[in-house]
Chains A and B, each alone.
Chain A
Amino acid sequence: AQKVTQAQTEISVVEKEDVTLDCVYETRDTTYYLFWYKQPPSGELVFLIRRNSFDEQNEISGRYSWNFQKSTSSFNFTITASQVVDSAVYFCALSVQSNYQLIWGAGTKLIIKP
C-alpha cells in the first residue's frame, strides 16, 4: 500500500525565519513521482514541484528548496527567509504506476507571523 505522511499539522514561525515541512512516503513501487502543492486561503491548489524516483538531486527555486532522500523515504520542503505570503496549507503527494490516483498527505498549515 502507498501512503504519504505529513506529521506536522501546523507550524507557526515569525517572518524571515527558515522553515522545513516534512513529507515521508511509503511505496513498494520502484518508479514513482512526488509532488508538492500549496493551498493559500483562496482555496486553489497550486503546483510547486515534481520529482521522480530516479532523480535525487535537490532542487532550489528562489527561497524554496526541496530535499529528496530515498534512503529515508522523505521529500522535505524548506522555505528560506519566510514571508507572510507563504502562509498556506502545503500538501505532499505521491503518484505510483499501480494507481492512477495521487496519494495525498494530510497537509501542513504554515502560519507566518509578521
Chain B
Amino acid sequence: DVKVTQSSRYLVKRTGEKVFLECVQDMDHENMFWYRQDPGLGLRLIYFSYDVKMKEKGDIPEGYSVSREKKERFSLILESASTNQTSMYLCASRGLAGGLGETQYFGPGTRLLVL
C-alpha cells in the first residue's frame, strides 16, 4: 500500500517562529511535492523535488524553503511564519516509472494556524 505521512495533522505557531513540516514516503519515489490549499484558491505548488538534494520552485515559493537530504523525506520550512501562511499544507510523492502518467499520492495534510 502507498504510504505518505506528515509529521502533524494540526499545528499552531506564533508569528516569527521557524516552522518545520515533514513528509515521509515509503514508496521509493523520486519526486516529492509541497502544496498549500486555501479556500477559493485551490491547490498551489510551493516546491518540488525530483531527487535527493534537488529542488525546484513551484508557483508560490516566497516565504518557504525546502530540504531533501534523504529520498524518503521532504521537509518544508517556514523561516519566519506569518499569519498569511495559515493554510492546509499537503505533501505528495510520485514515482518515475510511468513517466508523466505516474500518480501523485498525498499525505493526510497539516492544518497550520499562525497567530
Can you name 23 A-B pairs with beta carbons within 8 Å?
Answer: A31-B100, A33-B100, A33-B101, A37-B106, A42-B108, A43-B88, A44-B108, A45-B92, A45-B106, A45-B109, A46-B106, A47-B104, A47-B106, A50-B103, A95-B101, A100-B56, A101-B45, A101-B58, A102-B104, A104-B42, A104-B43, A105-B42, A107-B42
User: Would you call A96 and B100 a contact (CB within 8 A)?
Assistant: yes
Interface of A is mostly: strand
Q: How many whole Å from A14's CB to the nearest CB in chain B?
A: 26
* Chain A 81-114 interface residues, beta-carbon cutoff 8 Å to B: 91, 95-97, 100-102, 104-107
- Residue-by-residue, is B92-115 near A (CB-CB < 8 Å gives 1, otherwise 0)? 100000001101111111010000
**Does A52 have its Cβ within 8 Å of any Cβ on chain B?**
yes
**Does B90 have its Cβ within 8 Å of any Cβ on chain A?**
yes
**Does A64 have its Cβ within 8 Å of any Cβ on chain B?**
no
User: Would you call B100 and A95 a contact (CB within 8 A)?
Assistant: yes
Residues of chain A contacted by B74 (CB below 8 angstroms): none
Q: How far is the CA of A50 from the CA of B107 in the complex (A)?
A: 18
Residues of chain B contacted by A107 (CB below 8 angstroms): 42
Q: How many whole Å from A81's CB to the nearest CB in chain B?
A: 27
User: Would you call A35 and B103 a contact (CB within 8 A)?
Assistant: yes
* Chain B 58-72 interface residues, beta-carbon cutoff 8 Å to A: 58
Q: How far is the CA of A101 from the CA of B67 in the complex (A)?
A: 19
**Does B48 have its Cβ within 8 Å of any Cβ on chain A?**
yes
Of chain B, the residue at the smallest CB distance from A34 is: B101
Residues of chain A contacted by B31 (CB below 8 angstroms): 100
Q: How many whole Å from A103's CB to the nearest CB in chain B?
A: 10
Please name 13 further chain A to chain B contacts, defined as beta carbons within 8 Å, in addition to the given A33-B100, A47-B106, A102-B104, sorted by A numbering: A37-B106, A42-B108, A43-B109, A43-B111, A45-B92, A47-B104, A47-B105, A50-B101, A95-B101, A101-B45, A104-B42, A104-B43, A105-B42
